[in-house]
Structure 1
Amino acid sequence: MSSSNPTTDPARIVIAVDGTSGSGKSSTSRGVADRLGMRYLDTGAMYRAMTWWMLSNDIDVHDADAVAAAAGKPVITSGTDPLGPTIALDGADVSVEIRSDRVNAAVSPVATVREVRARLIALQQQEIEQALAAGSGIVVEGRDIGTAVWPAAELKLYVTADPAARAARRAAEEGGSDAEAVRASLENRDKIDSTKGGAAVPEGAIHVDTTPYTLDEVIESVVELVETAVRATAEKAGE
């Protein structure tokens, strides 16, 4: 899309991408952001970074009070380049550490703590505000994006896929992990999210089922949705 055309310029809009784990929302979000020259924010990485800090500092992740008391201590910094998103903890890159089995097993109880969510949602809102102030649109993906983080997003998506497809994709991402074990883990995560409300479908969100499509096809479909949303926003503003 040409940046000279105000009706199709994705600058200064927010795309909120919610959905289930393993549905392809991260790959889709990065692809769309790269295609349209937007920033990209992986909110899940922020929760993982918080979890890694708790583990590294011997905080019992199952002790909600202890986690809450420490939630304000770590310094979490997100890089928003869709081709190379980064996550730093107290100034150190932790991109590898946050994908470890230890973090996989501990992130859900940490993410349920109210103080953790409040802290990270505030950081996520700051990232969005900085992007908009700089004249850049941003694709934000994770949980609670269209409900708690940025309810005013010009485009809200809820990305899903059937359980078998999600498990196969996540197993492939993890280097050939057992698909059945991965499926059980994803289903457990879904159960936790539904209990704490993190799996809520945002009001006005467009449902995107990625099951039968390739990544390129999903990205193309979402780009078309973005173009429609940008035109609608421009018309509403009287441009």
Structure 2
Amino acid sequence: MVIAIDGPSGSGKSSTAKGVARRLGLAFLDTGSMYRACAWQAAEDGVSDAADLVALARAADLQVGTDPDDARVRMNGTDVTEAIRLPQISAEVSKVAVVPEVRGELVRRQREIVADTLAGGRGIVLEGRDTTTVVTPEADVRVLLVADPDARVARRHAELGEVVDVAAVSDQVIRRDRDDSTVAAFTEAADGVVVVDSTELTLEQVVDAVVALAGKVHA
């Protein structure tokens, strides 16, 4: 089984996908971590030109774990799992993600991970931009996870704690949505994609909703 979860920043994609993967015994793929890893490497190398970003993405030794309890990310031999979540990377990742050729390269890699996982006899839950429409449009379950802006900002701020203030978090969430929407469709559900509004739901309730959709597929 392949389950794809898309949606705006702070809607709960990652937490939901991990919860569903644990519940159903599936692998997990955070596609956004791959863009973050490239953004981290770009910052390390002082790269900002689009052509250089494309070359960086294509040459990268990028390894992304698929264990929902330990999804480590390694970039060119360095474990960047924690580093790619820092506010400065969140503020820069869209500059990488909006480059079409970078997206093309990472989508190719994401599809390979999905294919390799399925070939190994295990299903996968993947989350992030384009997962329901570009990466795995043939997924068994496709969900657009949404929430109102205030809820999304509050959740992201809670994740970061006191590292950044609410205004900075709001900029990251709202601006990233605006920037990424120029190259990815995640504001409206495509045909066959089910909308789940998490604004008034607990994480457990959202996981329940997605698991129920998966159950219907194999009923």
TM-score normalised by the shorter chain: which range applies? over 0.9
Range with greater deviation from structure 2 (193-202 or 158-167):
193-202
Report what 1:155 is aligned to: 141
Letter of the 1:72 counterpart? R
Aligned to 1:218: 206
Q: CA deviation at 1:196?
A: 1.9
Structure 1: 4+ residue segments shifted above 4 A: none
Given that 1:147 and 1:203 are in contact with CA atoms closer than 8 Å, whether structure 2 keeps it comes out as no
Q: Does 1:134 align with 2:105?
A: no
Matches within 5 A, 1:78-227: 78-176=64-162, 177-199=164-186, 201-227=189-215
Larger radius of gyration: 1
TM-score of the aligned structures, taking structure 2 as reference length: 0.94
Cα pair 2:97 2:180 within 8 Å, conserved: no
CA RMSD of aligned residues (A): 1.3
Counterparts of 2:190 and 2:70, CA distance in 1: 28
Give the superposition deviation at 1:65: 2.2
Percentage identity across paired residues of the two chains: 44
Please say if 1:32 is aligned against 2:20.
Answer: yes
**Residue 156 of structure 1 contacts residue 202 of structure 1 at CA under 8 Å; is this kept in 2?**
no
| 1:195 partner SS | coil
Q: Is the 8 A contact 1:28 1:218 kept in 2?
A: yes
Q: Does 1:54 align with 2:42?
A: yes
Question: Across the two proteins, how many residue pairs are aligned to each other?
Answer: 217
Listed as ranges, the gaps of 5+ residues in structure 1 are: 1-12, 232-239
Once residues 118 and 67 of structure 1 are traced to their aligned partners in structure 2, the CA distance between those partners, rounded to angstroms, is: 12
- Matched position secondary structure for 1:45: helix
Gaps of 5+ in 2: none
Match of 1:7 in 2: none
Amino acid of the residue matched to residue 128 of structure 1? V
Once the two structures are superposed, residues 89-119 of structure 1 have per-residue CA deviations (whole angstroms, 9 ceiling, x without a partner) of 1122111111122211211011111221111
Give the TM-score, by structure 1 length. 0.87
